[in-house]
Structure 1
Amino acid sequence: MSAADTDGAFGPSQALDDGTISARTDAYFNRTRDIVTRFGDRVVTYAMFIRRPVISAPRLMIDWLDNVTRARGSAITHEVMFPEGTWVGAGEPLVYITGSFAALSDLETLLLQKLGPPCVAAHNAYQMAMALPNVRFLAMEARHCAGFEMQEQMAYAASVGSAAARREGALGFIGGANDATASFFGAEHGLGTMPHALIGYAGSTLRAAEMFHETYPDADLVVLVDYFGREITDALQVCRAFPELAAAGRLAVRLDTHGGRFLEGLDPASSYAALERNTPGTIRRYRSETELRHLVGTGVSAAAIWRMREALDEAGFPRVRIIVSSGFSGEKCLAMADAHAPIDVVGTGSFIPDRWSETYATADIVSYDGQARVKVGREFLLRQAHGRAVPPS
């Protein structure tokens, strides 16, 4: 069961009655429905597309459409042109929807809202997973979303992009940050251990780790180590307090160092040196100021990750894992790959599209009662003899 099957944002209890749909759709679509109802209905076919390359992620939209048409008693058919998780070129129709014009005209706004963002986010998640194919990802989109409906779309998208990457050998996304979207990743519960607030409450990183372990003795222990700015000191203190967990690979440190400071013991010169010791030549290949910041700058840089790995190994804790977060976008993942950063897990919400205008999906009617007709400039949406539309040149 997916989150779309539950009684949530896309469940049958919400946004299915005509009054709610009418209130949320564009006024000219409501007026179109009134006019068509008055002057005679027609069977129409909509083509839905996005202007940029994406990964096909139409399931939430299709589930919602099926729920609405079932509640209305409408006879609507849809044809998904690209299976979920497959690559779609710019402008290629993802879905054709056919049915009563009166029954479909007021749904266009809501359908587009549910198609574009997941497809773009799925593409971003796929690119990130492929950039670091040997790293596991945790979807932490919830705090960056404007409510649960957006969160559900983004978690679903991460699962779709991840599945596409896994088919090509990447490890991909292993779960989400809360229970509500865990089912998209084949899990019952969200993943995560402690926020910074718990460390503040405990008064020390070690005490927070002890409290967590006492409360959840069977869970793996993941400890945030940047609260007091003593990432290495506190990480090693926790490792020494839990040597059995460390030796068993059940202990991890999470780096979330603030972008305004370096990891403990690092500065610009020592950051360059950390890269040179572990991945000679990487720093000479940087291509932008942003990439340079990812490699040797403040916050969770490649140099910081390498320095933490060095410190753990030197202290006799080679099986302690490193989990990283803080701004891990596709660009940052590529920089980490170039630096061969020893990352075990990335926690990220940065697969959410950075430019929301990229997510705008569009729909055009391409057939009225079986007669092909579309506005000038959108002829590429018309079905061809081989069943596929021809994208714009």
Structure 2
Amino acid sequence: MTEDVSDRAIAARTDVYFNRTRQIVQKFGDCRVTYAVFLRRPVVSAPRIMLDWIAAVAAHRGVRIEVDLVHPEGEWVGAGDPIVYLTGAFADLADLETLYLQKLGAPCVAAFNAWQMCLELKTVAFLAMDARHCAGEGMQEMMAYAASVGSRAAQRDGARGFTGNATDATAHFFGQPHGYGTMPHALIGYAGSTVRAAEMFHETFPDENLTVLVDYFGREVSDGLAVAARFPEIAAAGRMAVRLDTHGGRFLEGLDPAESYAVIERHMPEAIRRYRSETDLRHMVGTGVSAAAVWRMREALNQAGYPRVKIVASSGFNVQKCRVMAEASAPIDVIGTGSFIPEAWGETYATADIVAYDGHPRVKVGREFLLRQNGHRQNGPNGQNAG
């Protein structure tokens, strides 16, 4: 995504007091400053979009901005620990803070969430379906990037992680040539039946794997088995999946509270016998896409002779729900989720403070923890220059 980095565009979108600071410094004499950039909560470092923007600004202005990246991409960062130090002329940096902070905070928190989700379910593949929950293309790019960073961090610990996403524009973050997906609920309604929607999709895209939404008519099990019976060769080849997206207002077909408990008792009885919060219990045996719902779908497919039909689960899969699914050993093959998007937006606010003026350490009272420690590299192995 190309962004206008002209002075006029930056001035229009930055806080006025930063613009005025730049003008004051230009009038009374410039100095060399160092900013420490940090978040107030633990995150996973996801700085690339911010750093690329800073580099583009530096190139456009013909100036040099030194970047000391303390925490490389994908590294865990503690609360208040500077992720990066930026050094340059005060007049070159003063008006950039608003915009580069926008590009850092949310990706770092989203990367942290994605990392945790992937670690909770190491054997499950994730698909990033964040796009329609984003506020425009800028956020869409940040969230896809963040999911890819968190995913790679989890993959280093043995997780499958995110294997793709739902849009072509951001598929490159996952090393894919295009986005993935088959059908929304609207196509089921248009077709008039789940089987007919599957037929339409297969006739249009015969070489694609077939993933079918099965909750539209409230007959997840019946319709899932009907689609498998309609396409037995695709089912036997492992190229078919049923996607569970049952909303939280009802149980999956054939389940109720008693039967949901019974399903978990058949497969993971120890999971149901621990103390759980109301939310955890809902994820385990409640309405919507619960662990019991996934297990029931797996039972039905296996009993009907379709052990190779996969289960894709979606609907509210955040860190907490992934943890419950892991405790129940829910047999999920793929999770489609956008719930790595931060829920508490206030936690995404990145902050920057100047910690040195012309090489002399100075920071507002209470932020002394941001000062460079003795022996800290000025331009170490992870340092780089913008411009």
TM-score range, shorter chain: over 0.9
Question: Which AA in structure 2 matches 1:70?
Answer: A
Q: Which residue of 1 aligns with 2:310?
A: 321
| Separation in 2, partners of 1:255, 1:274 | 17
| Separation in 2, partners of 1:204, 1:71 | 56
Say whether 1:350 aligns with 2:339.
yes
| Separation in 1, partners of 2:4, 2:88 | 20
Q: Which residue of 2 aligns with 1:193?
A: 182
Q: Which residue of 1 aligns with 2:54?
A: 65
Pairing partner for 2:149 from 156, 160, 164: 160
Q: Which residue of 1 aligns with 2:16?
A: 27
Question: Which AA in structure 1 matches 2:53?
Answer: W
Question: Which AA in structure 2 matches 1:107?
Answer: L
TM-score (norm: length of structure 1):
0.95
Q: Which residue of 2 aligns with 1:5?
A: none
1:51 is displaced (CA, Å) by: 0.6
- What percent of counterpart residues are identical? 70
- Write out aligned runs for 1:141-152 (5 A): 141-152=130-141
Q: Secondary structure at the match of 1:106?
A: coil
1:385 is displaced (CA, Å) by: 1.5
Structure 1 residue ranges, 4+ long, deviating more than 2 angstroms after superposition? none
Q: Which residue of 2 aligns with 1:105?
A: 94
Using CA pairs below 8 Å that are at least 6 residues apart, which structure has the higher relative contact order? 2
Q: Which residue of 2 aligns with 1:83?
A: 72
Q: Secondary structure at the match of 1:199?
A: helix
1:49 is displaced (CA, Å) by: 0.5
- Write out aligned runs for 1:220-369 (5 A): 220-369=209-358
Q: Which residue of 2 aligns with 1:175?
A: 164
Superposed CA deviations along residues 69-124 of structure 1, whole A, max 9, x for unmatched, are 10111111101001110111111100000011001100000011011110010000
Q: Secondary structure at the match of 1:99?
A: strand
Pairing partner for 1:210 from 199, 203, 219: 199
Question: Which AA in structure 2 matches 1:68?
Answer: V
TM-score (norm: length of structure 2):
0.97
Question: Which AA in structure 1 matches 2:363?
Answer: V
Q: Which residue of 2 aligns with 1:371?
A: 360
Count of aligned pairs: 378
Superposed CA deviations along residues 198-239 of structure 1, whole A, max 9, x for unmatched, are 111111000000110111111100000000000000000000
Question: Which AA in structure 2 matches 1:63?
Answer: D
Question: Which AA in structure 1 matches 2:245?
Answer: D
Q: Which runs of 5+ in 2 are unaligned?
A: 379-387
1:18 is displaced (CA, Å) by: 1.1
Pairing partner for 2:33 from 44, 48, 53: 44
| Separation in 2, partners of 1:296, 1:75 | 58
1:17 is displaced (CA, Å) by: 1.1
| Separation in 1, partners of 2:275, 2:257 | 15
1:286 is displaced (CA, Å) by: 4.0
Q: Which residue of 2 aligns with 1:134?
A: 123
Superposed CA deviations along residues 279-333 of structure 1, whole A, max 9, x for unmatched, are 1121111420000000010000000000000000000000000000000010000
1:388 is displaced (CA, Å) by: 7.0
Q: Secondary structure at the match of 2:96?
A: helix
Closer, same or farther in 2 for the Cα pair 1:286/1:251, shift >3 Å?
farther
| Separation in 2, partners of 1:369, 1:251 | 63
| Separation in 2, partners of 1:254, 1:324 | 6
Q: Which runs of 5+ in 1 are unaligned?
A: 1-7
Question: Which AA in structure 2 matches 1:360?
Answer: Y
1:15 is displaced (CA, Å) by: 2.9
